[in-house]
Amino acid sequence: MLDGLKEEDANALIETLNKAAEKIPEIEIDALVQTLKHHTSYTLKMLKAVEENRLWNIVLSDLEYYKEKEKIRLQRESGGQA
């Protein structure tokens, strides 16, 4: 559900709510807009953190793979020379 969240979409929604409030003064949306801004900002930060974590996990996985390959290579070399 959150994969499609875009900051531009959230900003467009906030702008639409603000315009609606201008045309219909009885609607009190200031608190709603502030909450929406806060939640949108938090969600986008968390999505970025998740993406960075995925990248970090890929790097660590690759590092382990190459460490294991190097270990096997060194074992073969030491076994061949002994």
Written as one letter, the residue type at 52 is E
Whether 33 contacts 16, CB under 8 Å? no
Q: How far apart are CA 17 and CA 71, in angstroms?
A: 60
∠ Cα 21 26 27 (to 5°): 45
**In which residue ranges of the chain is pLDDT below 70?**
1-5, 80-82
Structural domain boundaries of the chain? 2-81
Question: What confidence score (pLDDT) does residue 81 get?
Answer: 56
DSSP one-letter string for 4-70: G--HHHHHHHHHHHHHHHHH-TT---HHHHHHHHHHHHHHHHHHHHHHHHHHHHHHHHHHHHHHHHH
- Model pLDDT, residue 3: 54
Instruction: Please name the amino acid found at residue 67.
Output: K
The pLDDT of residue 22: 84
Q: Give residue 52's pLDDT.
A: 93
